[in-house]
Structure 1
């Protein structure tokens, strides 16, 4: 098992490697909350995810008193900054993560002079779901004389004379997922489609500029070559739902013009995938 906590500042705690060792927890458990129809009806009208508290038990051990003290302090300091900053960290299980806080640490068993402690981490998640990020790169190419594309590297996509500018994108989970698109300049009014859904931003990008379109946060902004960030919400093509999630299944993706971009899918599940 690969269980890690990465705080909002990027500092990592490996909970399956000395001096910390995971022993038990409810990481595979989940529960949907529900709303009932008013009146005498017993009909459920809505399922939703309520904030979830989840205990995780770990042991802390070290060879010396100094190493033990450093490990205990590091655990506290790494998790406390998320509370202070009011920004969740990420609990990783393999390549999936849940955004959460560690809001308390209970010292269940320890003795002075012995470099060993059992601790219970109280984890709380505002939106309890496990997310896997999947990146898909798109680069528009011209066919070579033999009718196929000639790449200097191997790609996992099947480019043929009939689909040289199309890329297959797959959401492998059972529900529609959020995404982030990063569009590189130079280009004018960049847009793309995924399946039947179109996305477009009516603006100009020069070289070394890029746009970030994020459906999870419902934000879109331009980053200049000097790093200046500009909110370009008003530049969205209002004919399209530019924050529409990606449905489950396989879809064709293509850009309107010759510009490179990258899509990150945020596939999510109620429980981490068993492996």
Structure 2
């Protein structure tokens, strides 16, 4: 197994733990823990498991910082504290998977006498102890990927949209039911799709260059205009059944009238990062 790529992305910036002046040493991301709740069987023989709970939400990463140590430490502190101050977790990526978390503490050892190197162990807290792997599915039929003015996204559509007529399928998750972000791209009126027979719909009109995003992870529905303005569409969503409960996977079939482009980003939740 090669050394993982480890990057923290927060409100105040990014930190690459595997790039100078940081020299990655070790981490505890491979650790996982499942708590078991059990009760005595009714016949008094043995127990039965009533619940599994994923409880590993604290991790550590150690690095050596070289060079202008004090400046680097000050910069890291600003980035990490920005997320804590706003009560908004950053994303810690290990290769292609990430966990929403905060950097809550650091322990510094092995300072050299000229402060040109120091070993730092960072403590990481994840409110939800699951790693996320995002997969993107983009479906596009019969609509130009660029408008007459030739503007770039969000006016036009992402260049990776597929245009071939074929069944639209999303992949089966490894462990848990999927969460997803579903985007409708204009022009469209009352855009609607079905995933495994379950309806996702928003009442309203989308013009060319506009999109609606239904995000199950953040439980939000917004419209993004061509100018980048965000409009809350929460009350225009299909309310029953709820669009925010996880996708119970059957065949992964996506159905709609194919008159407008859609994009589905699935959030696959894992108990450990995916190693390479």
Scaled by the length of structure 2, what TM-score is found? 0.82
Shift of residue 19, structure 1, vs aligned partner: 0.9
| Equivalence for 1:54 | 59
**Cα distance in 2 for residues equivalent to 1:206 and 1:197:** 25
Report the Cα distance in structure 2 between the residues aligned to 1:24 and 1:132, rounded to whole angstroms: 22
1:30 equivalenced with 2:35 (yes/no): no
Matched with 2:150 is none
Partner of 1:123: 124
Instruction: Give the structure 1 partner of residue 146 of structure 2.
Output: none
Cross-structure match for 1:3: 6
Spell out the pairing of 1:234-273 with structure 2 (5 A cutoff): 234-248=235-249, 251-273=252-274
Q: CA deviation at 1:2?
A: 0.8
Q: Distance in 2 between matches of 1:219 and 1:207?
A: 22
Q: After alignment, is 79-88 or 47-56 more displaced? A: 47-56
CA drift of 1:158 comes to 9.7
Q: CA deviation at 1:239?
A: 4.5
User: Which residue does 1:43 correspond to in 2?
Assistant: 48
5 Å-filtered alignment, 1:86-235, equals: 86-141=87-142, 159=164, 164=165, 166-235=167-236
1:77 aligns with 2:78: yes
Q: 1:17 aligns with which of 13, 16, 19?
A: 19
- What is the CA–CA distance in structure 1 between the aligned matches of 2:160 and 2:224, rounded to whole Å? 28
CA–CA distance in structure 2, aligned partners of residues 185 and 215 of structure 1: 21
Distance, in Å, in 1 between the alignment partners of 2:268 and 2:54 is 16
Alignment length (residue pairs): 255
Moved more, 229-238 or 212-221: 229-238
Could you tell me whether the CA contact under 8 Å between 1:24 and 1:56 is conserved in 2? yes
Distance, in Å, in 2 between the alignment partners of 1:85 and 1:237 is 31
Query: What CA distance in whole angstroms lies between the structure 2 residues aligned with 1:248 and 1:56?
Result: 35
- C-alpha root-mean-square deviation of aligned residues, in Å? 2.7
Measured at CA, do residues 237 and 72 of structure 1 come closer, stay the same or move farther in structure 2, by a change above 3 Å?
A: closer
Aligned 8 A contact 1:51 1:126 in 2: no
| Alignment gaps of 5+ in structure 1 | 143-153
**Unaligned ranges ≥5, structure 2:** 144-158
Check the 8 A contact 2:35/2:53 in 1, yes or no.
yes
- C-alpha distance 22-176 of structure 1, shift in aligned 2 (>3 A): same
Query: Distance between the aligned counterparts of 1:158 and 1:260, measured in 2?
Result: 9
- Deviates further, 228-237 or 214-223: 228-237
User: Deviation digits for residues 248-268 of structure 1, max 9, x if unmatched?
Assistant: 575222323511121111112
Counterpart CA distance in 1 for 2:64 and 2:69 is 11
- SS for the counterpart of 2:263 is strand
